[in-house]
Structures are given as C-alpha cells and as structure tokens.
Amino acid sequence: MKILAVETSTMSGSVALLEDERIVSEYLLNIEVTHSDRLMPALDRILKDTGFDLSQIDCFAVSLGPGSFTGLRIGLSTIKGLGLAVDKPVVGVPTLDVLAHNITFSKYSVCPLLDARKGEIYTSLYQTNDKEELCQVVPYQVLNPRDWLTFIKDKTIFLGEGLRVYQKLIEEKIKDLALFAPFDRNVPRASVVGKLSLKRLLKGDTDDLASLAPIYLRRSEAEVKWEEKEKKDAQDIRTA
C-alpha cells in the first residue's frame, strides 16, 4: 500500500512517500518560506525521484493541526484535491499525535508542545499502555504553559518547536520532572503522518473528503478581528 503524506502545520513542512511499513522517500524543509510556494514542488520532486505516478498512490494522508492556520489550510486543500483527482481515500492525523509519536516505547509520559502564540501552547499528554502503544491520555489543549505545568506530576518527556520559547520556563517550574527529546525529534514529520494513517487504513478507516477539517482549537486572528468589527459596526448603527 502506497501512502503519500503531507505535514504543513508548522514552519518545518515535509512530504513523504511510504510503501506499507517502508519509508521510500521523505523531504523536509525547515525555513521561512510559505507552504504555498514549496508544497507542490516538493510533491512533484518526491514523485519524480521515486518514479511513482499519482495514479499509483493508494491513499493520501495529511496532518490536521493544531498549528499554523494558513499552513493547515494549504496542506488539507492540496491533499483533498489530489484525493479527489485520482479518486483515492484520504486520512487526516492530528499534529500533536504525529509529534508525540517521534518518541515511542517510553516509560515516561510524552508531552508535545507547539507555540500557539499569544503566550499559549498547543499540547496534550501521552503514555505507553500495556501493549506498548503510545496513547493519548489528555485531550488536545490550548492554554498558558504555566497553567499546564501545574498538572505535570511525574517525569515527562517534552518535545516540539514550542521548546524554543518555553524550555527555560519548563526547567524552572518542574525541574527534574522535565526530560527533553533530542532536537531532531522536535518537528512533526510527514513520514509519521503516513505511519499513523497506515494503522487506520488497515482497519478500513478513512475520512470523508467533504467533512474533513483542520483542528484549530481556537479561532484565527482574522476571525476575531472580523467579529470585533461587526460588533463595533452594529454598535455604531444603534447609537447613530
């Protein structure tokens, strides 16, 4: 089974092609270039380098967020378009799940962190069960990191791009309870998107193209400003 996977929820966008449980190719670029400029060339390159055609892809997979509002829309719309064009299924995978699965078989809890800006983080918590599977034990959150750290009572592995902003705070607040993943584990990868989608595919579980949507956790800045403008306009009308 061939899976073409895309990850665009953070600045470090990536594309991967998997065949069953083998990574055929993966392309990752962690620079400040918009995903609208680099995603399609990356997809084209990975298909040319591997010699595959879109018609040979059995499923398309994409990270759903939370993360960059623009990046998520670009990744999801691209994958939806490809799935529709060649009439193949699509699977969406939450970004925090993807990031957490950069660490597996850990006896400690795993805490992925993404910078949500405005002094907040996107996060969740995962633990390894008796079957040695990493499972989510706390729902996806968007909150102040100081509030989040009050819930950490045991040794926990932190990873993710949010550490660039909050690692010092974590060290100060929970001290020896904090463990930090190697730097190469701090970005969500398309190959992990593909790996997690394969688990669902083997169960016959795919997503509906029409209803599949990003996981935002909160409204975009544009939506907030639009609502504020609407309220102000309404108030101006009432007082005119």
Mind listing the pLDDT tens digit for each residue in 9-31?
999 999 999 999 999 999 999 88
Give the residue, 235 or 93, on which the prediction is more confident: 93
Mind listing the pLDDT tens digit for each residue in 156-173?
999 999 999 999 999 999
Beta-carbon count within 10 A of 6 CB: 26
Does some domain include residue 41? yes
Distance of CA 170 to the CA centre of its chain: 22
* Shared domain check, 55 and 14: yes
* Shared domain check, 195 and 89: yes
Contact 143, 114 (CB under 8 A): no
Peptide bond into 66 cis (omega under 30): yes
Q: Point out the least confidently predicted range of 39-43, 159-163, 236-240.
A: 236-240
Does some domain include residue 201? yes
Q: Which pLDDT score, from 0 to 100, does residue 218 have?
A: 83
Report the alpha-carbon distance of residue 123 to residue 118 in Å, rounded.
Answer: 15
Does some domain include residue 64? yes
Residue 21 DSSP SS3: coil
Q: Which pLDDT score, from 0 to 100, does residue 188 have?
A: 97
Q: E strands of 31-89, at which residues? A: 59-63
- Considering its fold, how many domains does the chain have in total? 2
Mind listing the pLDDT tens digit for each residue in 210-230?
999 999 998 654 444 444 444
Does some domain include residue 236? no
* Shared domain check, 162 and 142: yes
Structure tokens at 142: 């968007």
Instruction: Give me the CATH number covering residue 76.
Output: 3.30.420.40
How large is the average pLDDT for residues 142-150? 97
| Residue 28, Cβ density class (10 Å: 0-12 exposed, 13-18 middle, ≥19 buried) | middle
Structural domain span for residue 79: 2-95+188-221
Among the residues of the chain, which ranges form H helices?
35-50, 69-86, 95-100, 145-149, 163-174, 190-201, 221-239
Report the alpha-carbon distance of residue 204 to residue 210 in Å, rounded.
Answer: 18
* Shared domain check, 113 and 165: yes
* Shared domain check, 199 and 176: no
User: Would you say residue 182 has pLDDT above 50?
Assistant: yes
* Shared domain check, 206 and 163: no
* Shared domain check, 7 and 71: yes
The number of helix segments (H) and strand segments (E) in the chain equals 7, 10
Q: To 5 degrees, how large is the angle CA 75–CA 210–CA 215?
A: 50
User: Would you say residue 238 has pLDDT above 70?
Assistant: no
Contact 185, 159 (CB under 8 A): yes
Phi, psi (degrees; rounded to nearest 5) at 232:
-65, -45
pTM: 0.90
Domain end call among 157, 185, 213: 185
Report percent pLDDT > 70 for the chain. Answer: 91
DSSP secondary-structure letter at 207?
B
Does some domain include residue 36? yes
Structure tokens at 111: 């805490």
Give the residue, 114 or 237, on which the prediction is more confident: 114
DSSP secondary-structure letter at 52?
-
